[in-house]
Amino acid sequence: MLQIKHSIIARHEQQDIIEYQLIAVNGFQINLLNYGGIIRAIYTPDKNGKLANIVAYHEQFDPENDGHLGAITGRIAGRIAGGKFNLDGKDYQLALNNGVNNLHAGPNGLDKKIWNVSELSDGVELTYFSPAGECGFPANVAFKVRYRISAEYRLSIEYFASCDAPTLLNLTNHSYFDLSAGVNSLGMELTVPAESFAEVDASGCVTGIISSVVNTPFDFRQAKPLGRDIYQANLQLELANQGYDHPFLLNPNSPIKLVDPLSQRYLNVTTTENCCVVYSGNFRPIKHSSLCLETQKMPNAINWPEYRQQVIFSPTKPYFSQTEWQFGVLNESA
């Protein structure tokens, strides 16, 4: 049985900022906000049964939320080159909030919105209506995101959206994981079932070049410590401020795996998406202190002929995406 608690933690734009605590019978707990759907805490046990928060968060409510910690990102996750795209013959120019690019839909994306929250038997449902023109995108869009948890240490995130005209959609969650709870983030062992990754340019935007992971620091087909190759002299690592901030093209039906050898905590990620941006926190105040696994469609897809249809939705083509995070301890199950 799930226990749901909630409390007002701040006021913003004359509205209450509410934190929800979803607590399973075994102590597994998720804390999240109605602001941006931000996940502030995920409490999981280590090998000794000690619970700790394994995601990065701001101690005090911060409406700017630098780094998008734990937030729903959209309407479009990732960078759009030059903030420009063309849809149905019309050119659009978005805000440039990340150098020469638009990042995560701009400075007022879904991560900055106060969502309506309703309780479910196994979690919460967040809804938000985005009017046409918001952040520069066409179409009215009704968003719905469900966070569901179970006593088996599983969190499911489901994203739904319906629109009244063609538009772009590509959502993800921007949680930063540190399964060691602050002890040894670069020692976490990562497995990414991907034969290839997308290269980025000096602005951090994907270039359209897809490269093999073979014989590169981007080969995570077999588990290896996150920090093993992160300081290699490699142009792609250097362009991302010496680290990973790259989309990996996922093999279907294979989980992404993250393990902390010290605490024995693990995370298995399964998703309906075909891409995962692995971001090693290269621009965070404490560099490489946590890891994002942003399951989504290809960033900047609208400007790639071979990918653009993946992010175009319409009244007859609603949006749906699901990602599951399965947490556990290695000596219990792998």
Q: Which residues are the active-site residues? A: 174, 294
Quickly count: other Cβ atoms within 10 Å of residue 252's Cβ. 8
DSSP run (H or E) holding 211: strand 206-212
Alpha-carbon torsion, ordered 247, 251, 252, 257, to 10 deg: -80
CA 331, 147, 322, 289 torsion-angle sign: negative
Contact 175, 323 (CB under 8 A): no
State how far the Cα of 277 lies from the Cα of 77, in Å rounded to an integer: 10
**Token output for 153:** 């240490």
State how far the Cα of 72 lies from the Cα of 172, in Å rounded to an integer: 6
Of 25, 29, 46, the residue nearest 331 (C-alpha): 46
CA 162, 165, 273, 229 torsion-angle sign: negative
CA 315, 73, 193, 237 torsion-angle sign: positive
Strands laid side by side in the 206-212 sheet: 176-177, 291-296, 275-279, 245-250, 194-200, 206-212
Percent helix / strand / coil, the chain, rounded to 5: 5, 45, 45
Q: How many residues does the chain have?
A: 334
| Rg of the chain taking only CA atoms, in angstroms | 19
State how far the Cα of 173 lies from the Cα of 155, in Å rounded to an integer: 12
298 CB-contact burial (10 Å; exposed 0-12 / middle 13-18 / buried 19+): buried
